[in-house]
Amino acid sequence: MNDPTKVPLRRFARISMFIALAGAATARAQQEGSVPGEPISAAKQFVGQLTKGEFSPARARFDATMKRVVSEAKLAEIWASLISQTGPLREQVGARTEKVGQYDVVFVTCKFERSTLDVKVVFNRDRQIGGLFFVPSRSAADDKPPDYAKPDSFREEEVVVGSGEWELPATVTLPAGEGLFPAVVLVHGSGPNDRDETIGPNKPFRDLALGLATRGVGVLRYDKRTKVYGPKLAAAAGKITVKEEAIDDALAAVALLRETPGIDPKRIFVAGHSLGGMLIPRIAARDQRIAGFVVLAGTTRPLEDVVLDQHNYLFSLDGETSATEKEILDKLQQQVARVKDPALSAETPGADLPLGIPAAYWLDLRGYDPAKAAKRIRRPLLILQGQRDYQVTAEDFAGWRESLSSRANVRLKQYPTLNHLFMHGEGAGTPAEYLKAGHVAEIVVEDIARWIETL
């Protein structure tokens, strides 16, 4: 579902609401031995089956929803793609659990040839697997905020975005003082992101929030609907579009900011990252009072083409394409062709489409050209792009530039050393880079704050 994000390893960390169950924000961590050992044993056995290529018995552990959206072939494809990046699994080095409502969430820490990851397995009360993630090991996390964030310059409050069945836990970061302050809503990329848009040890949305608030700009960030309500959305996956995934909640967040004391309701902005950036024109069309927009690595190409290009790039990193990788690419090309086929209908099985995402999602995006749609936004736009970003590339940035560069109230800027997370790096971008702790570059925070100050 984008950048799909979120893809390998990013794809695995956020693989999408259709096969992943995210833990609630209030999940309580527990150490191994603090709950009955059966879930840990079952999770270790499940990982062992994946390692041995025993995908049929591994899939037999899934609940009905997982079986519907993840075929045996899809499970094999996911594992093969992972191994192509991390190398073979050498050993399981530990496990821990979390209790999330009625679910037991087990993290099996696995040492692969080139990195250490946690295989996150979610069990329902019947010991069936209702969610599967591949995420960086928690031991790699570095939770230190960026140096440019000055704690005395802001305060944070817990709030709720939306109401009723889709209310979302959120954090508003407010500059110190009376206000009225300008403010920004942060809109996530693909997959079940938390409010910090956590990927590995990195928290780009937290960095932006603390950095901007230090510079006098309020920020609202929230857990994404696909994280908080994963099982509920999975049950209705065939009807989900980007409206339900992202747009409705972004607009609800804007509405909340307008009612927040200390915030100037006439100077509220929306900043979208990756998929969120791609959707800025749709968000803008729904609320004419938003003051301006920031596009952070927003794609302008058809999403199915982005997914295919990402796979081609990742499989090329080692200089050769294996037989398994070629098989995956061939199948993905067929799935992309199905998306583009005029005969695509709501009845087309998700298994025949990229990432297993149902047809309704692809049909909703058919004909959507973000760069052309942005021409209808007469309000200010700031479009930022990391030149080392392999997920959203120079081709996407060129799309924005071609459509908007003649506009006086549009600013476009690229950063030579930054990746998809707007963090510094060197050489060709790789998924392994997301496993290294870093922070959003200070220049990005400064550029956004200065741009807002001029409006």
Structure tokens at 290: 């938003």
Report which of residues 8 and 410 the model is more confident about.
410
Give the C-alpha distances (Å, rounded to integers) separating 331 from 202, 218, 232: 32, 45, 29
Which one is catalytic: 273, 420, 424, 439? 420
Tens digits of per-residue pLDDT, 48-88?
A: 999 999 999 999 999 888 888 888 998 998 898 888 888 89
* pLDDT band, very low/low/confident/very high, at 140 (cuts 50, 70, 90): very low
Predicted confidence at residue 434, as pLDDT, reads: 85
User: Which of 302, 308, 309, 299 is closest to 340 using CA atoms?
Assistant: 302
Residue 421, pLDDT above cutoff 70: yes
Mean of pLDDT values over 363-380: 97
Tens digits of per-residue pLDDT, 263-316?
A: 999 999 999 999 999 999 999 999 999 999 999 999 999 999 999 999 999 888
Name the pairing type of β-strands 381-386 and 410-415: parallel
Predicted confidence at residue 86, as pLDDT, reads: 85
Which residues are CB-contacts of 20 (< 8 A; sequence separation ≥ 6)?
A: 14, 131, 132, 133, 191, 192, 230
Which one is catalytic: 223, 274, 396, 439? 274
Shared domain for 280 and 339, answered yes or no, is no
Shared domain for 379 and 240, answered yes or no, is yes
Shared domain for 187 and 296, answered yes or no, is yes
Q: Which domain range does residue 39 map to? A: 10-140
Which residues are CB-contacts of 450 (< 8 A; sequence separation ≥ 6)?
A: none
Mean pLDDT for all residues in the chain:
88
Shared domain for 87 and 203, answered yes or no, is no
Cis preceding-peptide flag for 186 (omega within 30 of 0): no
Predicted confidence at residue 53, as pLDDT, reads: 93
Structural domains in the chain (count): 3
Predicted confidence at residue 101, as pLDDT, reads: 67
32 within some domain = yes
Report which of residues 64 and 352 the model is more confident about.
352
Shared domain for 103 and 229, answered yes or no, is no
Count the residues in the chain. 455
Q: Are 50 and 168 in contact (CB under 8 A)?
A: no
Q: What angle do CA 141, 443, 317 make, to 5 degrees?
A: 55
Shared domain for 27 and 115, answered yes or no, is yes
Shared domain for 182 and 166, answered yes or no, is yes
Predicted confidence at residue 233, as pLDDT, reads: 85
**If you search the block for the tokens 């899809």, which residue do you land on?**
74
Shared domain for 129 and 60, answered yes or no, is yes
146 within some domain = no
Which one is catalytic: 118, 194, 223, 389? 389
Residue 12, pLDDT above cutoff 80: no
Shared domain for 83 and 204, answered yes or no, is no
Shared domain for 156 and 36, answered yes or no, is no
Tally of CB atoms within 10 A around 325: 19
252 within some domain = yes
Mean of pLDDT values over 197-213: 94
Q: What percent of the chain has pLDDT over 70?
A: 90
Identify the bridge partners of residue 272 per DSSP, sorted by sequence position. 187, 295
Full-model pTM? 0.78
Predicted confidence at residue 81, as pLDDT, reads: 84
* pLDDT band, very low/low/confident/very high, at 138 (cuts 50, 70, 90): low
Name the pairing type of β-strands 129-136 and 116-123: antiparallel
* pLDDT band, very low/low/confident/very high, at 114 (cuts 50, 70, 90): confident
* pLDDT band, very low/low/confident/very high, at 142 (cuts 50, 70, 90): low
398 within some domain = yes
Does residue 420 carry a catalytic annotation?
yes
Mean of pLDDT values over 371-386: 97
User: Which of 145, 144, 104 is closest to 128 using CA atoms?
Assistant: 104
Shared domain for 121 and 77, answered yes or no, is yes
* pLDDT band, very low/low/confident/very high, at 431 (cuts 50, 70, 90): confident
Distance, CA of 327 to CA of 435 (rounded, Å): 27
Does residue 389 carry a catalytic annotation?
yes
Of 66-70, 308-312, 327-331, 362-366, which gets the smallest average pLDDT?
A: 66-70
Residue 15, pLDDT above cutoff 70: no
Structure tokens at 348: 């087309």
Predicted confidence at residue 317, as pLDDT, reads: 86
Shared domain for 156 and 292, answered yes or no, is yes
